[in-house]
Structure 1
C-alpha cells in the first residue's frame, strides 16, 4: 500500500515541495541552505561557534564551551541546544510551522529537535513546551512548541507535561525590539499553576521551543520552573538566531 501511495504521491522536500528520495527529507537546494548545528556550539544556548571553538571561553567548572553572550548574560537554565541556525532553510521551516499551518512538518522537525536534545537528556526528566497565551492559542489553534516537545518526549521515552507552564499575561510578539525590551516584555508572564507545582518538585526539566533569539522567553519559562521548585532546567529549540557577521 505504501509503495502504491508513493507512486501517486512521491515524497516531497519539507521546505519547497520538490521531489526527494524519502519522506521527511530536503532537496539538494534546501539542504545547502540548511545549517544544522554540530558539536562545536555554546553549551548554554546552542549557538554555533566558529572552527573548533577553541577561541571561545571554557566554563572551568563544567569543561564546556560558552559563547560571549552567555558569559555576559546569566542564563537561568543549565545547558542548551538547537537543531538549526535560524536563517535559510531553518528560518523558512520554523515560519512554516509557526505561521503557515504546516502541521505536517512537526514529525520530521520534532525528530531533528530530539536529536539535538540528546546530550541534555536525563532519566525521567520532564519535557515541557513553552506555552502560548490562551488568546493566541485560540487564534492559531495549536502550539508549535508543544508539537515539537511531544516528538522529543516520545523519542526519548520521557514524560510529557504540556500543561506544566502557563502564560498568565498576554504579551506582544517578540519579533521586534531590543534584547532589553524582550526581557521586560516577558517579566512575570509565565508561571507554574499551584496545582501543578508538586509534579515539578526536584525534577529535571527539558524546555522546548521553536526559536531562540535573545533567550527572553526561555529565561522567563526557566525562572518560573525554578520558582516552583524544579531541578536543573535545560533548553532545546528547533532554530537558533545568530548575529550577522
Structure 2
C-alpha cells in the first residue's frame, strides 16, 4: 500500500480501504462488505429523504457502493481533496440523479460484487425508526446518521476494550451511563458491581475520556488531515443537537 498511502499520511483508513479495492477481486469484495456495513445508514437516510421508498432506497445504497468500487470513481479518488463524508454524500447525490440509467446497467448491483443485503445483517427496521428523528433535508439526514454511525463504532471499540480485559472493570458498570434516557443511580450501579461511588465515578470519567478519544479516532479515519479530526467531531455533534 506504500504507493497509495504516501509517507504514512493515511494509515489504514476508510480512504485506503477504498483505494485497496483496486488490487484484486477479493479486495474489492472485502472493501464492498466493510464499507456497506459501516456507511449504509447515512446513505439510506439520504436516499429516503430524497424521496425513494424503502425498496428503492435499499437498491440505491447497494447499487451506489458497487458503482463506487467497480467504476471509474476509483481512478479519481483523491483523499487530499476532502472528507470521506462530503465525498460520499456528493457522490450519492450524483448517483441518485442518474439512478434510472444506472439501474438499466446494474439492477441491485448485478455484477461480480452482487451480495444480499440480508447477509450483512443490516437492520432496516432500525433505520426506518431512526428516520422519525431525522431531519427532512437529505444532507442533514445523511450527516446525522453519519454522526450516529461514528459514535456507535467508537462505543463498540470501547466495549471491546472492556471485554478483552484491557480495562479492568465490567462494561455493564458504565454502559447505562452512555445510553440516552434517565441517568442511572450511582449508588445502585456501584452496589451492583461491588464498587464505591467514588470508584464508579472515577471509572466513568476514564471511560468517557477514552470514548471521546475513540470518537475522534473514528473521525480522523475519514478526513484528509489527522489534525482535522477534532473539528469533524464538533461539527458532527452539532448535527445531533439539531
Q: Which TM-score band (shorter chain)?
A: under 0.3
Relative to its length, the structure with more helix (as a share) is: 2
Does 1 or 2 have the higher relative contact order (CA < 8 Å, sep 6+)? Answer: 2
* Structure-2-length-normalised TM-score: 0.22
* Structure-1-length-normalised TM-score: 0.22
Relative to its length, the structure with more strand (as a share) is: 1
